[in-house]
Copies of this chain bind each other. A is one copy, B any other.
Amino acid sequence: MNLKELSARLGLSQTTVSRALNGYPEVSEATRKRVESAARRYDYRPNPGAKSLATGKTMAIGHVIPVSTRHEIVNPVFADFIAGAGEVYARNGYDMRLTVVPDDDEDHAYREIAARGSVDGIIVHGPRPDDPRVKLLTEIGLPFVVHGRTSTQDETINWVDVNNRRAFERATNFLLDFGHRRIGLVNGLETMDFAMRRRQGYCRALEARGLALDPELMAAEEMTETSGYRAARRMLAAPAPPTAFLASSIISAAGVRRAITDAGLVMGRDISVVIHDDDLGYMKNGEDEPIYTATRSSVRAAGRLCAELLLDIIAEPGQNPRHLLLDADLVLGRSTGPAPGGAGG
C-alpha cells in the first residue's frame, strides 16, 4: 500500500493525505480522522527511501564499531551501549545503522558514511587523543556526538563521558587510605583517551602522596580476561609484588582474580582489587552487595544520553556544543581491605 493507492481509496489527493498523516493544519479534523483510520486499516507505511529523498532526512543514526585488528575483538561494552542508544532511537522513530570496521580503517568508514549521506548523525566510539575523525566530521558538517573525549578539541564538540580521571584518582586514594602502597594498574590500551585519563588519575593520586611511580606496576593492554591474567601474574611474580590492583573492566578483573587465585592468595583478604564497572547487563558486579569494590557508571545509560543529545542537536542545529561529564559512583564490595601488615590509613 502506497500513498497513491491510499489517497485513491479515500477519494482525496496525495497532498491532503500526506498532510493529514504528518499533522499539518491545512486539513480538517474530520478528514484527518478518516485518513488516519484508513492508514491503520490498510497498514500503510511511507516508504523510507522516498521519504528521505523528499525530505532530505534519513531518520537514521550511524554507529561505527571498530574491531581490534590485533586481536579481532569487539569491545563488549558495545552491546550495552547500543541497547541504551537503541531504546532512544526506537522511541523517536529513528533507525540505527551499524558498520563494523577494522580499527585501523575507521576514518575511511566515517568518510564513506558521510559521503553516502545515509544518516542524519553519527556517534563516535572509542575516541583517541586528538582523534582525526572529529576534524573530519566537523568539516563535513554532519552532526555527531563523541562517546568519550579527544583531549584537545573538547570545547568545540558534543560529547558524553565519564569522569575517568576523577574515578581512578578516587579509587587509588581509597586503596592508599587502606595502607596500600604498591598498587598494580591493569589498564586498557592507552591509545584510547579514556585509558589515558584513568592512568592520569592513578598517577595523580600517587604523586599527591609523594609516592614514586613504578612502570612495573602499570599495564596497558586489551581489556580481556587473558590480558588481565597475564598482567597480574607478571606483577605478582615480581620481587616487590603489589598488595592491590586497579582493573579497568570487570572482564580483565576476572583475569586478575584468576592470577590471584593461582598465586594462592585470597582476594579481599591478602590482596585488594578495585575495578571500573560499566554495569554491563550480562556481567553484573554482584547483586545486592557488589563483588568488587568499584567505580561504577552504566554504559547503557551513556548510550541513552549520547543518543538523546544527538537527536536534540539534529532537531535544533546551531546550538553551542554540549558536554555531559558523568561521575562514577564508588561502590564498596568485598574485594578490598587493609594492606596486609601495612602502615594503615
**A positions within 8 Å CB-CB of B:** 43, 45, 47-53, 58, 60, 65, 67-68, 71-76, 78-80, 82-83, 85-87, 89-90, 95-101, 112, 115-118, 222-226, 251, 254, 258, 261, 280-284, 286-287, 291, 300
Contacts and interface: CB of A to CB of B under 8 A. Distances in A.
B86 A117 contact: no
B251 A283 contact: yes
Tell me if A's interface is mostly helix, strand, loop or mixed: mixed
A14 B280 CA distance: 51
Contacts of A100: 82-83, 85-87, 89-90, 96
Contacts of A47: 53, 116-117
A82 B254 CA distance: 24
Given A75-B282, A90-B99, A254-B254, 5 more contacts: A50-B53, A65-B86, A78-B79, A223-B282, A226-B287
Contacts of A222: 282
A88 to B, nearest CB: 9
A76 B79 CA distance: 7
For A85, A97, A98, A291, the residue with the greatest tally of chain B CB atoms inside 10 Å of its CB is: A98
Given A49-B53, A226-B287, A283-B225, A96 B98 contact: yes
A304 B195 CA distance: 31
Contacts of A48: 49, 116-118
Contacts of A85: 100
A67 B86 CA distance: 10
Contacts of A280: 76
B45 A286 contact: no
Given A43-B115, A251-B283, A282-B223, A82 B98 contact: yes
Given A45-B117, A261-B261, A287-B226, A96 B95 contact: no
